């Protein structure tokens, strides 16, 4: 057994341990609710993350490990697919091993392999599609288009940015002689038809739910904001630089700008980059979105001249794993003097269990929040004898798109951080903390259901 494969198994074991011991993030608790109400679509995203959590919790139970189980596993399998893609694209250059090392050493993939979100299956199916494309180009066997189409369809069912995989491959086909020759056959079209067939359940769900997901995601591009565009652009560039880790970022950039690079890899990195740059004109690009650029960028870096890789590969991989390890350590033990309100690991992971215990200390008739993520944490951590309810309020209407039992009650409590939330009967405040440090302060308000539709949220 090769040393690199043993190292991958060891890395996967470490990620599984971290997945089991790190507290859940609010979005993970929210996606766990999805897995208790499986549908072909949801208000925010397609359903793949719910399916993955359903499988993980069926295997390992509803704890953190079950919710995240397929994260480390898919990262390992995706690494093998990326390895195969590198070996096929650039034979006899050990490009597969280099690309696999670089991808796993990025901070974004290191974190994404431990926590569960829509980008986790998306990156996996992106790597699977790259492996299929590499096999197609190396063998010339057009039947690989069916596998590529299946991977693209699953990518679309993971997150709507999977459309950039389809568009990137389409751009490559139209712009290259090899691609245009492929388009004169039925096979690419059969692959596209298979992708659409796999994605069809989400289309059907949206058709019966007022196209809500598409309007929500498409609405992100509305409204040019020149006063903040420069800030959003700077944040995007900084996030790509640091989440790739600095040395890997430089190697990937060098790889993408060399003449011999495959045009397919350029399409699968430059097209998403252009879309995200355009998005900064109207809104912030979330850090995790750029993960889809990393597999092709790492393959491009793996094609660099051997003398460059001999000099820079070890520092790139070592520094990437060190940075990722330090982030893990901070999430586990907070050894670095970063205030909780400025520490992303604290903002996401810390203090939730004590927060929930304080919220239900008065044993209310029910408890709710006008923030979906807080409501999801309450549903995950609160005792089952206290109903946790999702209400459709003017700024939060996602619960009506679930198939949840209706709730009818009188007066319970509302947990809110919104300045504009109506709170005629303030009952007090709750503070979420990491140790003695305050992360966030919430108002506790008496809440009467009135005309607001309410839905009982699923519990572990």
| Residues in the chain, overall count | 460
**Which residue in this structure is represented by tokens 């405040």?**
429
Picking from 373, 358, 367, 346, the residue whose alpha carbon sits closest to that of residue 440 is 346
Q: Give the Cα separation of 4 and 128 in Å (integer).
A: 20
Check: CB of residue 87 under 8 Å from CB of residue 137.
no
Beta strands 411-416; 367-369: pairing state: parallel
What does the DSSP 8-state code read for residue 39? -
User: What span, in angstroms and rounded, lies between the C-alpha atoms of 238 and 221?
Assistant: 21
C-alpha Rg value of the chain to the nearest Å: 23
- pLDDT tens for the chain, residues 1 to 460: 588 899 999 999 999 999 999 999 999 999 999 999 999 999 999 999 999 999 999 999 999 999 999 999 999 999 999 999 999 999 988 999 999 999 999 999 999 999 999 999 999 999 999 999 999 999 999 999 999 999 999 999 999 999 999 999 999 999 999 889 999 999 999 999 999 999 999 999 999 999 999 988 876 555 566 778 888 899 999 999 999 999 999 999 999 999 778 999 999 999 999 999 988 888 888 889 999 999 999 999 999 999 999 999 999 999 999 999 999 999 999 999 999 989 999 999 999 999 999 999 989 999 999 999 999 999 999 999 999 999 987 667 889 999 999 998 888 999 999 888 788 899 999 999 998 899 999 999 999 888 788 999 999 9
| Helix, strand, or coil (residue 194) | helix
Pairing, β 367-369 against β 388-391: parallel
DSSP state of 366: -
Distance CA 248, CA 244 (A): 6
């Amino acid at each position: 057994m090769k040393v690199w494969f043993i190292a991958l198994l060891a890395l996967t074991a470490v990620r599984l341990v971290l997945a089991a011991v790190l507290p859940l993030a609010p979005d993970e608790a929210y996606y766990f609710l999805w897995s208790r109400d499986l549908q072909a679509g949801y208000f925010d995203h397609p359903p793949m993350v719910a399916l993955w959590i359903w499988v993980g919790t069926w295997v390992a139970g509803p704890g953190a490990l079950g919710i995240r189980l397929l994260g480390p596993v898919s990262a390992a399998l995706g690494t093998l697919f990326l390895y195969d893609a590198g070996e096929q694209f650039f034979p006899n250059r050990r490009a597969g091993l280099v690309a696999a090392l670089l991808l796993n050493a990025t901070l974004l993939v290191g974190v994404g392999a431990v926590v569960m979100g829509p980008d986790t299956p998306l990156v996996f199916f992106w790597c699977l599609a790259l492996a299929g494309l590499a096999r197609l180009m190396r063998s010339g066997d057009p039947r690989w288009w069916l596998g590529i189409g299946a991977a693209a369809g699953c990518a679309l069912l993971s997150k709507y940015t999977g459309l950039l995989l389809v568009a990137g491959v389409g751009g490559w086909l139209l712009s290259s002689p090899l691609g245009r020759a492929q388009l004169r056959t039925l096979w690419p079209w059969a692959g596209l038809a298979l992708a659409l067939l796999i994605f069809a359940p989400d289309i059907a769900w949206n058709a019966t739910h007022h196209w809500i997901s598409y309007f929500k995601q498409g609405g992100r591009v509305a409204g040019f904001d020149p006063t903040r565009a420069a800030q959003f652009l700077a944040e995007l560039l900084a996030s790509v630089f640091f989440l790739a880790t600095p040395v890997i970022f430089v190697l990937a950039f060098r790889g993408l700008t060399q003449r011999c690079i495959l045009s397919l890899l350029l399409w699968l990195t430059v097209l998403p980059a252009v879309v995200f740059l355009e998005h900064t004109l109207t809104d912030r690009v979330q850090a995790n979105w750029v993960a889809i650029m990393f597999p092709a960028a790492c393959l491009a870096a793996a094609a660099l001249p051997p003398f460059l890789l001999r000099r820079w590969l070890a520092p790139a991989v070592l520094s990437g794993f060190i940075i990722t390890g330090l982030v893990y350590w901070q999430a586990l033990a907070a050894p670095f003097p970063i205030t909780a309100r400025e520490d992303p690991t604290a903002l996401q992971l810390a203090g939730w269990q004590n927060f929930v215990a304080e919220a239900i200390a008065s044993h209310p008739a029910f408890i709710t929040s006008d923030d979906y993520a807080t409501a999801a944490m309450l549903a995950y951590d609160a005792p089952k004898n206290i109903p946790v309810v999702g209400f459709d309020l003017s700024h939060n209407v996602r619960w009506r798109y679930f198939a949840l039992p209706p709730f009818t009650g009188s007066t319970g409590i509302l947990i809110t951080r919104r300045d504009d939330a109506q709170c005629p009967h303030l009952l007090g405040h709750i503070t979420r903390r990491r140790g003695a440090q305050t992360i966030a302060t919430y108002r506790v308000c008496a809440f009467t259901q009135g005309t607001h539709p309410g839905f009982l949220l699923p519990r572990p």
